[in-house]
Amino acid sequence: MLDIGSSRLTIDYGGATTLSRIESYLKAGQIFSSAAHAGFAVADIDAGRALTLSLRPAGDANGDGKVDFADLLTLAQHYGKSGADWGEGDFNYDGKVNFGDLLALAQNYGRSLATSAVAAARPSRRM
């Protein structure tokens, strides 16, 4: 298990470590944050060599640190989609945008991460 706290995590990967494997660790709770009721969205994928996980409130599809109407609109536009990612509204990493994701968004609607947790996010950790 890996507690990232309020940091970002950059993972250099290749070979057997794939994006889907990282997402399975997130879904299983093996990569988590004890700092906030939030999730990690995969961002900044570098041509299959590195990816960065950034802390976001569950429901924050656009990465602005808050859960609001823009995120709800994104989820609504992708509702029912399979093969989705966080930025399309899949907040529980099951590859689908459905009621579970809408519930996560609704539970956090109007919430935001502290500015220091999102903007500062301490220096990235690399694995």
Q: Domain limits of the chain?
A: 2-126
Residue 117 — φ and ψ, nearest 5°?
-75, -35
Residue at token pair 């999102």: 118
pLDDT, tens digit, 9 for 90 and up, residues 23-76: 788 778 787 777 655 666 665 566 667 777 777 888 999 888 899 999 999 999
Residue 83 — φ and ψ, nearest 5°?
75, 25
pLDDT, tens digit, 9 for 90 and up, residues 1-31: 777 776 777 777 765 456 777 778 877 878 7
Q: How far is CA 16 from CA 19, 67, 119, 126, in A?
A: 10, 34, 32, 17
Model's pTM, two decimal places? 0.68
Residue at token pair 């609504």: 76
Given this structure, which CATH class describes domain 2-126? mainly alpha
Give the C-alpha separation, 108 to 112, whole Å: 8
